[in-house]
Amino acid sequence: MIIKQTQFIKSSTTEAQCPKSTNPEFAFIGRSNVGKSSLINLITNNHKLAKVSGTPGKTQTINHFLINNQWYLVDLPGYGFAQVSKKDRGNFEQYIRAYITERKQLTCLFVLIDSRHEPQAVDVEFINWLGEQEIPFAIIFTKTDKMKPLALERNVEEYTKKLLEFWDELPPMFLSSSAHKVGRDEILDYIESIVVSSE
Ligand code: GTP
Ligand code: MG
C-alpha cells in the first residue's frame, strides 16, 4: 500500500471524544517506551507525526491519524508505567480499556512487545484479556535491531510457548525495528488486506 496522505485529526481521552467517522481503525498498544509512536512514524514515513521520547509515558492521549482519507492509525498511551501514581494509572488504563472494548471501528489492535525480554506477566495478562474480550489483535516484536538473530528467535519462541499455554491459536506476529526501518511493508500489507476485505 502506498501512503499518499497522513493527517493528524485529534487527541482524545474518552471514546466519546474520538472522531465520529466510521472508518476502520488500527491502534497501537503496549508497555510505555516499547516504541508505539516510533512505529507509527515508520509506517507513515514521517518522523515528526507521533511524539517520541526516551522517557516512558510520553503519549498520554488517544491520537487519531487519518491515512489516505480512508483508515486511521491510532497511537495509544502505554500501560504499566510505574512513574504515574496508582490512582492515575487506574484512570488511565480504564480509558484505554474503554476505548478498546467500546470502539466499534477498532479493526485490529497491534500489541507491541519489546523483543529484548522474555514473556512479561503484564503483557501476557493484557493479551489474555484481549482474547476474553474477543478483540482482534496482532503482535509486533519491537526494537529487533537491539537483538542478535538467535536471541531474537529464542525470545519469540518463548512468547509463542507462553501464549500456547492459554490459547489454541496464535495471533499474527510481526518483527519490527523503527531504527532500522524493518517491518513496515509486512504491517502495511496486513492492514491493506483487512481494509480491502472490509470494503
Ligand atoms: P510511550 O508513549 O511513552 O508509551 O512510549 P512509546 O511506546 O510510544 O515509545 P516511543 O516510540 O516514544 O519510543 C521510546 C524510545 O524507544 C525512544 O527513545 C525511541 O527512539 C526508542 N525506540 C523506538 N523504537 C525503536 C527501535 O525500533 N529501535 C531502537 N533501537 N529504539 C527504538
Ligand atoms: Mg508514545
Query: pLDDT (tens digit, 9 = 90+) per residue, 170-197?
Result: 999 999 999 999 999 999 999 999 998 8
Residue 81 pLDDT: 63
- Please give the tally of structural domains in the chain: 1
Residue whose CA is at the smallest distance from ligand 1 atom 5: 33
Grid coordinates belonging to 69: 482519507
Residues with a CB atom less than 6 Å from ligand 1? 32-38, 52-54, 56-59, 77-78, 142-143, 145-146, 177-179
**Structural domain contains residue 92:** yes
Residue whose CA is at the smallest distance from ligand 1 atom 10: 35
Strand order across the beta sheet in which 106-114 lies: 6-12, 62-67, 71-75, 25-30, 106-114, 137-142, 173-175
Residue whose CA is at the smallest distance from ligand 1 atom 12: 52
**Structural domain contains residue 84:** yes
The CATH number that applies at residue 149 is: 3.40.50.300
- Tell me which residue range forms the domain holding 24: 6-198
Q: What is the mean pLDDT of each run of 10 residues along the chain (199 residues)?
A: 94 93 96 95 95 87 96 92 59 83 96 96 93 96 98 97 95 98 98 87
Residue 55 pLDDT: 87
- SS3 track for the chain: CCCCCEEEEEEECCHHHCCCCCCCEEEEEEECCCCHHHHHHHHHCCCCCCCCCCCCCCCCCEEEEEECCCEEEEECCCECCCCCCHHHHHHHHHHHHHHHHHCCCEEEEEEEEECCCCCCHHHHHHHHHHHHCCCCEEEEEECHHHCCHHHHHHHHHHHHHHHHCCCCCCCCEEECECCCCECHHHHHHHHHHHHHHCC
**Structural domain contains residue 148:** yes
Residue bearing cell 489474555:
128
Residue 168 pLDDT: 94
Closest atom of ligand 1 to 178 CA is: 27
Tell how far the Cα of 65 is from the centroid of ligand 2, in angstroms: 13
Tell how far the Cα of 142 is from the centroid of ligand 1, in angstroms: 9
**Structural domain contains residue 89:** yes
**Structural domain contains residue 1:** no
Residue whose CA is at the smallest distance from ligand 1 atom 13: 35
pTM value > 0.85: yes
**Structural domain contains residue 16:** yes
